[in-house]
Structure 1
Amino acid sequence: MLMDDVIKAVPSFLWSDGTQWTGLVVTAKLFLYAGAIGMTLAVLLALLKVYGPKPVSWAIGAFSYFFRGTPLFLQLMLIYYGLSQFDIVSNGWQDGNRFWLLFRDATFCAVLAYVLNTAAYALEILAGAFAQYPKEEIAAAEAYGMSRWTTIRRIVLPGALRRVIPVFSNEMVFLLHATALSSTVTLMDMTGVARTLYADTYSPFYPFLMAAALYLCCTFALLALFRGAERRWLAFLRPRQS
């Protein structure tokens, strides 16, 4: 692969190959959708696991165990390729059912797999933070006259979310790297572009090196954002300087 080929490939890695969105744009879309929805779902599931009734807590625990105990790649394959073998899905496609047609969309299937996997890991992090929240703060809220759910909403939830920022940074980096699996379901993310260039040029080094460099830059930017969030929202945990 010559330098001219590398220069020509830059737009494909960053935004488009001339016919569709590709590269960094696709990776960013997958990451933002999955991160926002997955974390929102994780908060709801963690609250139900810690404060909900036992049957609900057990069901959420089973959900978490399955998605944390199986590879993300297999989860993606099951959602995108595996569901089509069921009659209800294939018949829904033939009938033009809008819900089942979503499972023919590679972007939807990839985001769904990432959302479920991210939520499974993040809910355990949050559930631990809720369960181990400082009892003194809860007692102070109760002494102030707050009800249980008001205490959870105003004290426990925002406080726990602040405390798990450093752990969530690792989870978000994992999600960013996990989006590289999207090329296995025909999506042209950064890894997909690299694989296409490899197939066209029979030169694996430069395409995958360019993809690796972009992932490295994205990881650096993501960690910088979380460092800034830690400095802003975790300042109250730092020791006071005398």
Structure 2
Amino acid sequence: MGGAAMNADVTFLADTALAIVRAVPVTLGLFVASAIGASLLGGGLVAALTAGLAPVRGIARGWIFLFRGTPLLLQIFMVYYGLAALGPVRQGPFWPAFRDPLFCAGLAMTCCCSAYIAEVLRGALAAIPAGQIEAALACGMGRVTRLRLIVLPQMLRLALPAYGNELVMMVKSTSLASTITVLDVTGVAQQVIAHSYRTLDVFCLAAGVYLGLTGALTALLRWAERRLDPTVSDGAGEGASR
């Protein structure tokens, strides 16, 4: 009896792990799409914050205040249940998108995380020494050249640690999509629990998957930080020359 029960447990855990792993592409797709959208939108917000027009700066500040000041879960509900209930949305050309829970979750995550990424990029931009910009102006560099050769490389290096933390948080935030029926890792885990009532076992397996995803992302970010760190690169070069 004990052996049969153990075999049943092993079979259940193996089947559950396989079902959860099959949901990883949904989680990754949601994360990648939201990360790209939030990064682009965050960059646009930084450009708006540094614009010369006060109304443009005001809109950017209002966006950041709104999406940093309200919970992501509430934003997902407002997009999926709120916007979808509006007549213009239901009768408009975008209704096929807004009735898709995966799209709504991605839209909410993009809007929310863009506000945090904008603040990360703004802080990195402010940390660039003003003397370097003045030297570039003295050399006659144009705006595009100055941005490409001086501002963007340093801003990326300074922002990467905090930006990486935001990406890790985004991976974990994808679990909130399960609240609007998205069958991601957490959504599949909840489905299995509803049929088996084995909460701890299933959530432990799901947690292991998230640990694997965040661990791989963290390793990639650390590699990128080493590549962008001039002191590490110089030290590696000196070691090779010796």
Superposition deviation, residue 52 in structure 1: 4.2
Match of 1:49 in 2: 49
Question: Which residue does the alignment assign to 1:178?
Answer: 173
How far does residue 185 in structure 1 lie from its aligned partner after superposition?
1.1
Matched, 1:88 2:83: no
Matched, 1:58 2:65: no
TM-score by length of 1: 0.89
1:90 and 1:153, CA in 2 relative to 1: closer, same or farther beyond 3 A?
same
5 Å-filtered alignment, 1:141-156, equals: 141-156=136-151
Q: Distance in 1 between matches of 2:145 and 2:45?
A: 18
More divergent stretch after superposition (135-144 vs 220-229): 135-144
List aligned pairs for 1:73-152, cutoff 5 A: 73-92=73-92, 97=93, 99-152=94-147
Select the residue among 2, 8, 11 that pairs with 2:9.
2
**How many residue pairs were aligned?**
229
Instruction: Return the alpha-carbon distance in structure 2 between the equivalents of residues 159 and 179 of structure 1.
Output: 30
Task: Tell me, in whole angstroms, the C-alpha distance in 2 between the residues paired with 1:229 and 1:149.
Answer: 25
Deviations 1:147-195 (A, max 9, x none): 2343234321232012111111110011001000011111111101110
Select between 137-146 and 178-187 the one with higher mean Cα deviation.
137-146
Indicate the structure with greater helix content.
2
Give, as a single letter, the amino acid of the residue that structure 2 aligns with 1:139: E
One-letter identity of the residue aligned with 2:9 = L
CA distance in 1, matches of 2:210, 2:131: 42
Partners in 2 of 1:184 and 1:214 — Cα distance? Answer: 19
| Mapped partners of 2:176, 2:232: distance in 1 | 37
**Residue number in structure 2 paired with 1:20:** none
**For residues 193-235 of structure 1, what are the alpha-carbon distances to aligned partners after superposition, in whole Å with 9 as ceiling and x for unaligned?**
1100100101101110000011111111111111001100123
Q: Which residue of 1 aligns with 2:21?
A: 14
Aligned equivalents of 2:52 and 2:233: distance in 1?
A: 33
Q: 3-state SS of the aligned residue for 1:112?
A: helix
Amino acid at match of 1:108: F
Aligned identity (percent) is 38
- TM superposition shift of 1:27: 0.6
Look up the match of 2:183. Answer: 188
Compute the RMSD of aligned alpha carbons: 1.9
**Any conservation in 2 of the 1:47–1:127 contact (CA below 8 Å)?**
no
